[in-house]
Amino acid sequence: MKSFVERYEGKVFRVIEKFKLLREGDKVFIALSGGKDSGAAGYVLVKYVREKGIDCELTAFHMNLGLPSSKEVEEVVKEQAKKLNIPLVTCNVADYGVDMAKIAQLPRPICSSCGVIKRYLMNKIPREMGATKVATGHHADDFIVFFFKDILGGNFSWIAKFTPLLPGKGKSIARIRPLFWVGGRENKEFCDSIGLPYLEDACPYAHLERGKWYEIVEYMASKQPDFRRRMMIGIAKLAELLPEETQTLRECEKCGEPTSTKVCAFCRLVQAQKEVKS
């Protein structure tokens, strides 16, 4: 019988192969947050490339959010990159005009604002450094939570993006999610099994409302053992059936990055933060 580590790696390897996440000549930036999910994604991607002899370049990428815990997080990320034996590129969001202390005071949910910042910089910086793809640690639990929230909010267009591979277009580079078939608990057990360091709470806002959704997923999984697998099969099929997004992207009038509006969400967020009193 195969060990847990072998079964886990087999699941992720199958996602990489089935959805053709990696190709010869790729330059992939692996977004590391210091947590278990991105760490696991990075580890298995590196192992896959080396075992299969794929000619592609892997680089760890980390964004320092300027939070009280960010120094500790960055140290863990350095340890992860060292264990993966790949170079590490770091950036400070403050260098791009972001003040997370002020962002947290805005009426917009902090998780939503943080997502805008990360998506923007995870596209801009790797692309400017020649990357062809960005890999993230999004896993099955994430997609199930996103699915429920989008259904309840009537935001059906985003469901088409719930796939392991989002192709690049123009200034938007491709994104890959190798952990599509595994859940958060599996990621934790995997990191513990291979001795990969990580922080339990890399995000200081993890206890907010967003965490309640994951408790619901855990509850459902406890009542229905194959809940995650069946949900992900359904989500993947639905994503295939939905029409591809035809929205035309333009360049932001302020920064030149791709957006569907005159001014991108990132620039609007930075402007809103400037109006917050210190």
Q: What is the pLDDT of residues 2-53, one digit of tens each?
A: 899 999 999 999 999 999 999 999 999 999 999 999 999 999 999 999 999 9
Q: Quick one: CA dihedral 133, 138, 142, 144, positive or negative?
A: positive
State which amino acid sits at residue 107.
P
**Cα distance between residue 266 and residue 270, in whole Å:** 6
> DSSP 3-state assignment of 201?
coil
pLDDT score of 208 more than 70: no
Share of the chain above pLDDT 70, in %: 95
Residues 6+ apart with CB under 8 A from 59: 27, 28, 29, 30, 86, 87, 88, 89, 131
Q: What is the pLDDT of residues 102-131, one digit of tens each?
A: 998 998 888 889 999 999 999 999 999 999
Q: Which two tokens stand for residue 101?
A: 């202390």
Which domains, and CATH codes, for the chain?
4-246 (3.40.50.620)
pLDDT for 278 equals 66
Q: What is the pLDDT of residues 150-206, one digit of tens each?
A: 899 888 877 888 999 999 999 999 999 999 999 999 999 999 999 999 998 767 666
pLDDT for 209 equals 56
101 CA to centre of own chain: 22
Q: Are 33 and 203 in contact (CB under 8 A)?
A: yes
